[in-house]
């Protein structure tokens, strides 16, 4: 039986981000914990020297149910962020019980891999994370109230607060 908090499904959430996007990811992580979700963190301090970063990351990806991928201009230029996003995307595409919520920061161009997903546009300095939280809580980006779908091609649809 799934664990619930205040009548809502408690989910294990992995936030994928680059070092430069850590402030936004930390605010989001705290907000998710505040509403009762488990946030899986990529904490290398818990591991000893010589630990395979990719193995550690694969274990965390396998543990999560929801993946919030924060994408920025820095992510777009990082081969590690790209590999992480692709690993998450492959798992989500093959397991219907898991889902991906792409959050694209500032004016970054969403990768082609997000073209089949509704994307949330956010500002990296944004304090109000209600759009992201609503998307996670409802488990379906496309049915949230207060969101509008702005079709882009070839980048796919983008969600914006109304």
Per-domain boundaries in the chain = 4-161
Q: What is the pLDDT of residues 45-61, one digit of tens each?
A: 565 676 666 777 777 78
Q: Which of 40, 52, 105, 47 is nearest to 76 (CA)?
A: 105
Q: Is the pLDDT confidence value at 81 over 80?
A: yes
Hunting for tokens 């590690």 — which residue is that? 80
> Mean pLDDT across the stretch 150-156?
37
- Listed in sequence order, the residues at least 6 apart from 94 whose beta carbon sits closer than 8 Å to its beta carbon are none
Distance set, CA 137 to CA 14, 30, 82, 118 (Å): 14, 15, 26, 15
**CB-CB contact of 8 with 137 (8 Å):** yes
| % of the chain beyond a pLDDT of 90 | 10
Report the CATH number of the 4-161 domain. 3.40.50.10140
Q: What is the pLDDT of residue 119?
A: 85
Q: What is the pLDDT of residue 88?
A: 87
The CA dihedral of 146, 117, 129, 37, to the nearest 10 degrees, is 110
Structure tokens at 7: 């009548």
Q: What is the pLDDT of residue 147?
A: 36
Q: What is the pLDDT of residues 91-148, one digit of tens each?
A: 888 888 888 889 999 888 888 888 888 888 888 777 768 877 877 766 533 333 333 3
Q: What is the pLDDT of residue 72?
A: 92
């Amino acid at each position: 039986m799934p664990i619930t908090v205040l009548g809502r499904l408690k989910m294990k959430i992995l936030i994928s981000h680059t070092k430069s996007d850590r402030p936004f990811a930390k605010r989001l992580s705290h907000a998710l914990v505040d509403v009762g979700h488990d946030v899986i963190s990529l904490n290398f301090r818990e591991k000893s020297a010589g630990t395979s970063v990719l193995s550690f990351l694969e274990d965390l990806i396998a543990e999560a149910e929801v993946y919030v991928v924060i994408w920025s201009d820095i992510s777009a230029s990082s081969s590690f962020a790209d590999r992480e996003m692709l690993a998450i995307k492959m798992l989500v595409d093959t397991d219907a019980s898991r889902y991906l919520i792409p959050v694209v920061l500032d004016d970054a161009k969403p990768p082609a891999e997000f073209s089949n997903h509704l994307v949330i546009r956010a500002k990296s300095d944004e304090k109000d994370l209600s759009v992201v939280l609503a998307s996670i809580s409802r488990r379906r980006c496309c049915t949230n109230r207060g969101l509008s779908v702005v079709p882009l091609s070839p980048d796919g649809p983008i969600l914006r607060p109304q």
